[in-house]
Structures are given as structure tokens and as C-alpha cells.
Amino acid sequence: MEFLHHFCTVTYLTLTPEHAQQQVWQSTAIKIGLSFPFLMHQILAIAALHLGHCDPKRQAYCSIKAIELQSLAMEEFAALQNQVDASNCRAIFLFASLLAIHVLADPTRSRDVSFGDFLDHLLGYIGLVQGVRQLVMEGWASHLKDSEIGALFDIQHPRQPYDIPDECRKLSNLIENANLSDATVETYRRTLDRLHFNFALSGVPSQRSTTIRWLLAWPMQLTRDYIELLQERRPEALIILAHYGVLLQYYRECWTVGDTGVSLIRAISAHTGRHWEPWLAWPNRMIDSDIQADRGP
């Protein structure tokens, strides 16, 4: 009951700044969760994580409860056996969204782990969430947009050409000048287009976000081909991911993000080596300036 109260009074406000979307999380999601235990348990897991963040003295206890609740949610969701229909697609979509937030907000996500483990954790989260969301978005997108959770799909698409940092746009030169196959070049082009879209959608660099807002949009849009390139640790793929780390930095005031962007950029820089330093100069410069600003004069 404490976790439910915390979600309905505090946590829901950290998910989005839009009032209509906040109402979906505060009220509609809870109502749907009453009929779908896997959703309700995931809601409570997120609330437990956030409560532990708000009250560090209780973080250890809340983290344990969050793990227990998420485990219950995953077991209950697995029982569906990918059977998606009009009655449960809303619950599955909400569950997938919260699952992504949970993995991102996991306080153990980047502590004392190797680059390989950190990237595997990130790829595992991307693959898991994409798989769950794919269940509902391929066949039920129109139904969801017309339902009582439709406000979650309201996006003001940024104008083209996108208003994004020049350093981000220059990534195209990395792709076009490399000795890559046509198929790989096309994969990177699509990935960059979606990254540019999310930079523009998030208002970077003029805006910073204290809520999760649109941060998870890019991971949801990644193609299987790009994920395979990341799994192969291809330097071009990792450099693109490091620029997503800059986007993470602009969301660092959100409790789910924190220093994840710093950890990601530094890990990729250490892994790729000096040959690729020029392409990682801007991400590293961005996190260094932020760290200096946080320390003050």
C-alpha cells in the first residue's frame, strides 16, 4: 500500500511533464493494473525503486522489494505466452514502458562492472523491451492510440531540418567515409536519423529534462541489424551509442538516469581506444563540462 500511494502521489510525476500523460499513469494505469497483476506488480516495483531513491536510508530494503515485485511481474507476464488481444494490449504496453524504466533506473546498472557487462546489460534491456513492445505495436497500435491511454502517443513532431548540435549531425561523415558494406551504411543511416529525431524531440541542447519524457524513444526504434553491430562491438556502432549518452546527460536530473550517460561515454571511450578519440571528443567534452558545472567554481 505504501508503494501504491507513493506511485500515485509522487512517482507518476517523474515519468512525463505532460498533464494528460500524467493522468494516464496516476489513474488509468492503476485501474488497468487491477485486472492485470503483471502490470500492477511492475507499477509497485517502479514505486519501490523510486521510494528508495527518495529515502536513501531505505534504499536497500526498497531495492529488494523492487526485485521481488519485478520477478512476480515477469512470471505473470510469461504466463500470457505472447497471447495479445484487445483486452490486454493496453496492459502489455504500459508494462513494457515501465519495464524499460525499471532497468534504466536499476541502481546496480553501472557500479563496478566491466564495459562488456555494462553493454550487455544495456543490450539486454533494449532487446527485452523491444520484444515486449513489438507484441502490441505491430498489430494493436491504432487500437492503443484510440484507447484511454492514447495520450501517451501524443507527440509534437519536430520540424525538419532538425535543430540539433552540429557535432551530432557530423556523425554522418563517420558512416559515409568508412569502408562499410551498403547494408551496414543503410543501417547506420536509419539509426542516425532516429537519433537526430530524438535529439530534436527532446529539445537538446536548449532543454534539460527532469522526467523520463522521450528518452526511451530511441532504444525502442533501433533495428535488429544495429543491435547486432553493437553486439559485435563495431566502433562506429559504439560511437553512435556514445552520442546517445549525451542525450542521457540532458536527462541526468531525472532519478532514473543519473550518471548513466557519464558511465556509458567513458566506457565506450576506454574500449575503442585512441584511434577513435576525435569522434568521441564531443561526448567527452559535454560530460566534462557538466561535471565541472556541478562542482561549481
Instruction: Summarize pLDDT for 23-38 with one digit per residue, the tens.
Output: 999 999 999 999 999 9
Q: Average pLDDT, stretch 216-237?
A: 91
pLDDT tens-place string over residues 201-210: 999 888 899 9
What is the distance between the alpha carbons of residues 46 and 11, in angstroms, rounded to a whole number?
Answer: 8
Q: Are 233 and 270 in contact (CB under 8 A)?
A: no
pLDDT score, position 110: 52
Burial of 60 (0-12, 13-18, 19+ CB in 10 A): exposed
Does the pTM exceed 0.85? yes
pLDDT at 295 > cutoff 70: no
Q: Average pLDDT, stretch 243-251?
A: 94
State what percent of residues in the chain have pLDDT above 70.
95
Mean of per-residue pLDDT scores for the chain: 90
pLDDT at 130 > cutoff 80: no
Q: Average pLDDT, stretch 102-127?
A: 74
pLDDT score, position 65: 97
pLDDT score, position 53: 95
Q: Which of 241, 90, 217, 96 is nearest to 157 (CA)?
A: 217
Q: Are 107 and 59 in contact (CB under 8 A)?
A: yes
Angle of helix 89-105 versus helix 37-54 axis, rounded to 10: 30
Q: Average pLDDT, stretch 213-218?
A: 87
pLDDT at 111 > cutoff 60: no
Cβ-based neighbours of 262, under 8 Å, separated by 6 or more: 245, 249, 252, 287, 290, 291
pLDDT score, position 180: 94
pLDDT score, position 204: 86
pLDDT at 84 > cutoff 70: yes
Q: Which of 291, 277, 292, 216 is nearest to 249 (CA)?
A: 291
